[in-house]
């Protein structure tokens, strides 16, 4: 049996390894080839987790669905039943990777994403999986009960095809969205791809004054006046808007909602408005100084200056001249700083792609219902999660399910 896998990211590599293992266990002769148009495999994987690679998340051992609240829940439950968190840990152990658990976030003990790529590549080599890089795919046709791929490196025939081309984010890593065209050429529906886990572009010209500020806070996404989700985490202010893990998680929800959008930020979630008001009033009463010092030691300098400016308080007036109404207003801003959201960042900077191949057209084995023998794995699918290892987990899971089933599942196609 010949299996062709297009795309050698985490999903494609896992599919290849698991297909080879399944073939060996079943005593079947299976020839596996990975075609990738990049010059090397796993380019994006090398960048994950700031180079440390957040492989998965311990939350998945008890609550596998909460991090994927907007994806196809039935399909996810089925997939995690087949290859879940524990299977993933066992998979990495079998590749010789020791696990580091950092408050539930799972990393390789080496703390190096590149070691995950090496371990996967080593397994590809051990199983004799053919890897062809710099291989542009011109088209793939259904021929008889199999597939024929015309590429810049020749023509390849296969009995099974696994599309694992990733999404459209970080196109410089090779995931340029071209996999969607391949999926469509087989009649698959592709739900509109949009950038996910990405910064939010804010309305207003003040961002340049506060860019560079990083501060813990509580962020709530509002869509058309309604709270959609609240996240605690580090807020990062940029030249054009807001970022940080909490903001990126919120960004995943925009495409499913109707605007206008805004993010309300509570910069001091541990304190009530009353507590902040009396803290500021005490400071004014007990500490002589200018208004510029009101937020010193409370908020980052740039942010304090920005809030005074928006409240039209001159920084050089004595602090005691700040009136109680102004303190009330400043306190409200600290607790409910409202930032209008114009857009999300682009695919160039998005960690994942939302949308993709519609899972309604797939069997539980990830085989196409339209073209038997065709499988999908990884981010090309319309399945996605929040930050925290949940997206790589989807790659290990879907890669394993597609790989094993491509070899073992009964299909309507006769394999010669
Ligand atoms: C900066 C950054 C950090 C991240 N950190 C994390 C993290 O710590 N934890 C986590 O869970 N997730 C993280 N992610 C998300 C995670 O990297 C992706 O979800 C994952 O890489 C998707 O894997 P994939 O195999 O589906 O696709 P990809 O990794 O995108 O790989 C697809 C492969 O297919 C090839 N390809 C594409 N189209 C074609 C074609 N037409 N022909 C031939 N080859 C093709 C590409 O060259 C590429 O090698 C991060 C993403 C980014 C950008």
Could you report the per-residue pLDDT of 252-277, keeping only the tens digit for each? Answer: 999 999 999 999 999 999 999 999 99
C-beta separation of 293 from 280 below 8 A: no
Q: In what order do the strands lie in the sheet with 137-143?
A: 137-143, 146-151, 154-158
Domain end (from 317, 345, 373) = 345
Same domain for 55 and 170, yes or no, is: yes
Same domain for 15 and 161, yes or no, is: yes
Integer Cα distance of 131 and 121 in angstroms: 10
CATH number at residue 254: 1.10.8.260
Q: What is the mean pLDDT of residues 365-391?
A: 97
Integer Cα distance of 127 and 130 in angstroms: 9
Q: What is the mean pLDDT of residues 344-351?
A: 97
Integer Cα distance of 99 and 208 in angstroms: 41
- Tell me, yes or no, whether 172 lies in a domain: yes
The confidence score (pLDDT) of residue 63 equals 86
**Residue whose C-alpha is closest to residue 207's, from 198, 196, 199:** 199
- Going by C-beta distance under 8 Å and a sequence separation of 6 or more, which residues neighbour residue 197? 248, 249, 251, 252, 350, 351, 352, 386, 387, 391
Same domain for 191 and 240, yes or no, is: no
Q: What is the mean pLDDT of residues 137-148?
A: 95
Structure tokens at 220: 């709530």
Which ligand 1 atom minimizes the distance to the CA of 378?
A: 26
Q: What is the mean pLDDT of residues 222-231?
A: 96
Same domain for 191 and 203, yes or no, is: no
Query: In the chain, what percentage of residues exceed pLDDT 90?
Result: 94
Please work out whether the CB of residue 35 comes within 6 Å of at least one atom of ligand 1. yes
The confidence score (pLDDT) of residue 371 equals 97
Please work out whether the CB of residue 391 comes within 6 Å of at least one atom of ligand 1. yes
* Structural domain boundaries enclosing 126: 2-195+349-408
- With H, G, I as helix, E, B as strand and everything else as coil, classify residue 18: helix
Same domain for 141 and 115, yes or no, is: yes
Global pTM reads 0.95
Burial group, residue 120, by CB count within 10 angstroms (0-12, 13-18, 19+):
buried
State which of 48, 117, 184, 376 you would mutate to test the pocket of ligand 1, scoring each by most atoms of that ligand within 8 A of its C-beta: 48
- Tell me, yes or no, whether 134 lies in a domain: yes
- Tell me, yes or no, whether 93 lies in a domain: yes
pLDDT in tens, 97-128: 999 999 999 999 999 999 999 999 999 999 99
Q: What is the DSSP letter of 378?
A: G
Same domain for 368 and 283, yes or no, is: no
- Tell me, yes or no, whether 416 lies in a domain: no
pLDDT in tens, 32-63: 999 999 999 999 999 999 999 999 999 999 98
- Tell me, yes or no, whether 374 lies in a domain: yes
The confidence score (pLDDT) of residue 64 equals 83
Domain end (from 293, 322, 345) = 345
Nearest CA to ligand 1 atom 20: 392
The answer, yes or no, to whether residue 415 has pLDDT greater than 60, is: no
pLDDT in tens, 303-336: 999 999 999 999 999 999 999 999 999 999 999 9
Same domain for 218 and 124, yes or no, is: no
Please work out whether the CB of residue 217 comes within 6 Å of at least one atom of ligand 1. no
- Per-residue confidence band for 414, with pLDDT thresholds at 50, 70 and 90: very low
The confidence score (pLDDT) of residue 103 equals 95
The confidence score (pLDDT) of residue 71 equals 75
What residues form DSSP beta bridges with 397? none
The confidence score (pLDDT) of residue 410 equals 76
State which of 108, 351, 375, 393 you would mutate to test the pocket of ligand 1, scoring each by most atoms of that ligand within 8 A of its C-beta: 351
CATH number at residue 21: 3.50.50.60
pLDDT in tens, 4-13: 999 999 999 9
- Tell me, yes or no, whether 414 lies in a domain: no
Give me the chain's average pLDDT, please: 96
Same domain for 32 and 83, yes or no, is: yes
Same domain for 39 and 74, yes or no, is: yes
- Tell me, yes or no, whether 279 lies in a domain: yes
Nearest CA to ligand 1 atom 37: 165
Q: What is the DSSP letter of 358?
A: -
The confidence score (pLDDT) of residue 411 equals 63
Burial 74-91 (b: 16+ CB within 10 A, else e): ebbebbbebbbbeebbeb
Structure tokens at 123: 């397994």
pLDDT in tens, 164-174: 999 999 999 99
The confidence score (pLDDT) of residue 412 equals 53
Q: How many CB atoms lie within 10 A of CB 139?
A: 11
Which ligand 1 atom minimizes the distance to the CA of 177?
A: 38
- Tell me, yes or no, whether 48 lies in a domain: yes
Same domain for 109 and 209, yes or no, is: no
Please work out whether the CB of residue 195 comes within 6 Å of at least one atom of ligand 1. no
Query: In the chain, what percentage of residues exceed pLDDT 70?
Result: 98
Give 381's Cβ-side CA count (13 Å radius).
Answer: 33
C-alpha 229, offset from chain centre: 17
Looking at the 3D structure of the chain, how many domains does it have? 2
Integer Cα distance of 137 and 150 in angstroms: 6
Integer Cα distance of 146 and 26 in angstroms: 21
Domain end (from 298, 318, 345) = 345
Please work out whether the CB of residue 170 comes within 6 Å of at least one atom of ligand 1. yes
Q: In what order do the strands lie in the sheet with 99-102?
A: 56-57, 105-108, 99-102
Cα of 288 to ligand 1 centre, how many Å?
A: 56
Burial group, residue 95, by CB count within 10 angstroms (0-12, 13-18, 19+):
middle
Same domain for 301 and 388, yes or no, is: no
What residues form DSSP beta bridges with 218? 232, 266
Same domain for 180 and 43, yes or no, is: yes
pLDDT in tens, 186-211: 999 999 999 999 999 999 999 999 99
Q: How many CB atoms lie within 10 A of CB 247?
A: 28
- Per-residue confidence band for 416, with pLDDT thresholds at 50, 70 and 90: very low
């Amino acid at each position: 049996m010949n299996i062709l896998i297009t795309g050698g990211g985490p999903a494609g590599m896992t599919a290849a390894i698991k297909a080879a293992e399944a073939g060996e266990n079943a005593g079947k002769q299976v020839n596996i080839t990975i075609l990738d148009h990049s010059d090397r495999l796993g380019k994006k994987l090398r960048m994950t987790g700031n180079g440390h690679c957040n492989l998965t998340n311990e939350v998945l051992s008890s609550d596998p669905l909460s991090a994927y609240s907007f994806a196809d829940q039935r399909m996810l439950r089925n997939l995690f039943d087949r290859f879940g968190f524990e299977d993933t840990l066992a998979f990495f152990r079998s590749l010789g990777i020791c696990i580091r658990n950092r408050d539930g976030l799972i990393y390789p003990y080496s703390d190096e994403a590149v070691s995950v790529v090496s371990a996967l590549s080593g397994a590809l080599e051990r199983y004799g999986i053919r890897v062809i890089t710099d291989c542009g795919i011109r088209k793939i046709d259904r021929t008889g009960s199999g597939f024929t791929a015309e590429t810049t490196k020749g023509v390849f025939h296969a009995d099974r095809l696994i599309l694992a081309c990733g999404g459209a984010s970080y196109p410089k890593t090779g995931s340029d969205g071209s996999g969607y065209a391949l999926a469509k050429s087989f009649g698959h529906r592709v739900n509109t791809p949009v950038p996910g886990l990405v910064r939010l572009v804010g309305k207003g010209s003040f961002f340049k004054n506060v860019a560079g500020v990083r501060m813990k806070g509580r962020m709530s996404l509002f869509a058309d006046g309604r709270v959609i989700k609240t996240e605690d985490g580090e807020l990062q202010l940029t030249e054009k808007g807001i970022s940080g893990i909490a903001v990126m998680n919120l960004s995943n929800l925009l495409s499913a909602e109707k605007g206008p959008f805004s993010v309300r930020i509570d910069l001091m979630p541990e304190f009530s408005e009353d507590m902040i008001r009396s803290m500021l009033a005490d400071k004014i009463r007990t500490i002589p100084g200018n208004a510029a010092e009101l937020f010193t030691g409370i908020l980052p300098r740039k942010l304090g200056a920005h809030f005074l400016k928006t409240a039209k308080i001159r920084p050089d007036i004595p602090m005691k001249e700040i009136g109680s109404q102004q303190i009330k207003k400043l306190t409200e801003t600290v607790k409910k700083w409202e930032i209008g959201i114009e857009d999300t960042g682009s695919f160039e900077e998005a960690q994942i792609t939302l949308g993709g191949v519609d899972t309604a057209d797939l069997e539980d084995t990830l085989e196409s219902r339209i073209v038997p023998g065709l499988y999908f794995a990884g981010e090309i699918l319309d399945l996605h999660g929040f930050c925290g290892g949940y997206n790589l987990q989807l790659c290990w899971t879907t890669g394993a399910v597609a790989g094993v089933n491509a070899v073992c599942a009964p299909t309507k196609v006769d394999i010669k």
